[in-house]
């Protein structure tokens, strides 16, 4: 799908006007027009597009294109257009008689091909390519829904499990992009699909995503209650449990621990982390089977250590954060965002100890590895802001670049 700027450039050339002439007739600055056409910006305010459309004598919708990069780059004024396609897939328009879009028809797609597509999109997400993930998900969601609703009795559980996994990934992406209300719809629908699939591991993992969202919304008591009650329902028998069952249980406990820590209940958080550690030890080197690996993979003793460090940061204990961080192997983990979040805790600890070069270097490492992810993190902005406010020397080029990336004032 073409971008806003590509549509604008094509329509402007068809109208045989220059950028300067379009700026004069529309009242939109030539700088904005130039940035859109050159791809320096991927979206604009709706009233800006309306003014350009009036000047070009075309419908405003003729200018609206793929603004997924704008969402991934957290551009000013990127909403709501940047999420338009994913919004149509997650929350389709309904009328008095139901959804405006026609009901699914035709033969279901092969589940194996959908699994391959889902795996490819998940790898894009784990590699922090949010723009590509945002572009690819809407079609997958539609195809997975059609397949689930038209599957044979024999294939229906697997089809709904795949739909649940697709919606869960969508919810996680939307949480990263701070579209919480839309994420809640996606996760609620994922839970419905998991229920229809009869897959408790998938359902429990979706609930872990719900707990993450609740914590982002400041609903700490609800997050802990949901995580612990679900963990109690699926608590595995350690001697017989499969790795996927132990992992799903462990992830729920980690979510509960994060919420307990933020709710000023450090002792309870520590107890819950200890239980999660026992599950990670029991798993050892075993891996969940392929159908569950995408959702519960990455849970191990190292991830538990990261959670301990996170809880120490929440408790304002930078010394303990750095002590625990020494026990975490260097380099990204299968769940990249977990390692990235851990490195933010390390940067925070260095900044609290006034070790600003180490803090800056840690943030630069993250910028090189995951710029799209870092741009979305308020925690990163707070850390950079604290460094810039306390510095005694002129701001380095690296620190200035970081400040620009995360959007902090200097």
In a domain, 40, yes or no: yes
**CB 176 within 8 Å of CB 131:** no
**158-167, 206-215, 296-305, 325-334: range with lowest mean pLDDT:** 325-334
Give CA–CA dist 32/35, Å, rounded. 5
**Which range, 13-17, 154-158, 295-299, is most confident?**
154-158
Give CA–CA dist 240/287, Å, rounded. 15
In a domain, 338, yes or no: no
Q: Which of 338, 397, 388 is nearest to 359 (CA)?
A: 388
Give CA–CA dist 322/340, Å, rounded. 15
Share of the chain above pLDDT 70, in %: 89
Give CA–CA dist 326/23, Å, rounded. 56
**CB 4 within 8 Å of CB 63:** yes
**CB 118 within 8 Å of CB 167:** no
Question: What are the distances in angstroms from CA 66 to CA 62, 70, 144, 248?
Answer: 12, 9, 22, 35
In a domain, 290, yes or no: no
3-state secondary structure of 410: coil
Q: Write the DSSP assignment of 199-230 as a string of letters.
A: -HHHHHHHHHHHHHHHHHTT-HHHHHHHHHHH
156, two tokens: 């229906």
Mean pLDDT of the chain: 87
- Give, to the nearest 10 degrees, the angle between helix 301-314 and helix 266-283: 170
In a domain, 167, yes or no: no
| CA atoms 252, 254, 255, 256: torsion sign | positive
Sequence-ordered list of residues with C-beta below 8 angstroms from that of 255, at least 6 positions apart, any chain: 208, 211, 212, 215, 223, 227
In a domain, 320, yes or no: no
**27-36, 152-161, 196-205: range with lowest mean pLDDT:** 27-36
In a domain, 17, yes or no: yes
Query: Is the per-residue pLDDT at 186 higher than 50?
Result: yes
Structural domain of residue 22, as residue ranges? Answer: 4-65
Number of domains in the chain: 1
Question: How confident is the model over 275-329, as pLDDT tens digits?
Answer: 999 999 998 877 766 666 666 678 889 999 999 999 999 999 999 999 999 999 8
The helix/strand count (H/E) of the chain reads as 22, 2
Alpha carbons within 13 angstroms on the beta-carbon side of residue 193 total 28
In a domain, 58, yes or no: yes
Say what the pLDDT of residue 321 is: 97
In a domain, 317, yes or no: no
Residues 382-402 have a mean pLDDT of 85
383, two tokens: 């850390």
Q: To 10 degrees, the CA torsion angle through 234, 237, 241, 244?
A: 30
**Which range, 82-91, 104-113, 174-183, is most confident?**
174-183
Residues 340-351 have a mean pLDDT of 96
- Domain with residue 48: its CATH number is 1.10.260.40
123, two tokens: 């790898």
Say what the pLDDT of residue 161 is: 95
Question: How confident is the model over 118-147, as pLDDT tens digits?
Answer: 999 998 898 888 888 998 999 999 999 999
Does the model's pTM come out above 0.85?
no
Cα 404 to chain centroid, rounded: 21
Question: How confident is the model over 40-97, as pLDDT tens digits?
Answer: 877 777 778 878 888 888 877 777 765 555 555 555 444 445 688 888 899 888 887 7
Say what the pLDDT of residue 78 is: 47
**CB 101 within 8 Å of CB 142:** no
Give CA–CA dist 209/310, Å, rounded. 18
């Amino acid at each position: 799908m073409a971008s806003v700027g590509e549509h604008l450039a094509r329509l402007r050339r068809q109208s045989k006007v220059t950028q300067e002439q379009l700026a004069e007739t529309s009242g939109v600055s030539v700088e904005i027009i130039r940035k859109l056409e050159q791809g320096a910006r991927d979206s604009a305010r709706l009233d800006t597009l309306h003014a350009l459309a009036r000047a070009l004598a075309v419908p405003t919708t003729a200018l609206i294109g793929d603004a997924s990069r704008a969402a991934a780059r957290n551009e000013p004024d990127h909403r709501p257009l940047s999420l338009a396609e994913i919004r149509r897939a997650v929350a389709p328009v309904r009328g008095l008689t139901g959804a405006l879009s026609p009901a699914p028809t035709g033969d279901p797609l092969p589940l194996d091909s959908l699994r391959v597509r889902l795996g490819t999109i998940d790898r894009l997400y784990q590699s922090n390519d949010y723009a590509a993930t945002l572009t690819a998900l809407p079609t997958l969601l539609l195809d997975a829904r059609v397949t689930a609703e038209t599957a044979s009795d024999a294939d229906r559980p697997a089809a709904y499990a795949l739909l649940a996994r697709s919606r869960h990934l969508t919810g996680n992406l939307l949480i990263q992009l701070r579209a919480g209300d839309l994420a809640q719809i996606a996760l609620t629908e994922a839970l419905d699909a998991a229920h229809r699939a009869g897959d408790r591991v998938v359902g429990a993992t979706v609930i872990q995503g719900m707990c993450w969202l609740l914590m982002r919304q400041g609903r700490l008591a609800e997050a802990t209650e949901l995580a612990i009650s679900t963990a109690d329902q699926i608590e595995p028998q350690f001697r017989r449990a499969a790795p996927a069952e132990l992992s799903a249980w462990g992830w729920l406990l980690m979510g509960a621990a994060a919420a307990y820590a933020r709710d000023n209940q450090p002792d309870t958080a520590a107890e819950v982390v200890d239980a999660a550690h026992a599950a990670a030890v029991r798993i050892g080197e075993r891996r969940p089977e392929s159908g569950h690996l995408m959702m519960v993979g990455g849970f191990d003793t190292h991830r538990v250590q990261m959670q301990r460090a996170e809880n120490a940061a929440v408790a304002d204990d930078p010394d303990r954060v750095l002590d625990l961080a020494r026990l975490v192997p260097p380099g990204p983990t299968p769940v990249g965002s977990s390692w990235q979040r851990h490195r933010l805790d390390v940067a925070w600890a260095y900044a609290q100890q006034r070790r600003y070069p180490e803090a800056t270097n840690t943030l630069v490492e993250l910028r090189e590895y995951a710029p799209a992810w870092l741009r979305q993190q308020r925690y990163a902005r707070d850390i950079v802001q604290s460094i810039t406010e306390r510095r005694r020397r002129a701001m380095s080029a690296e620190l200035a670049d970081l400040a620009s990336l995360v959007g902090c004032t200097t």
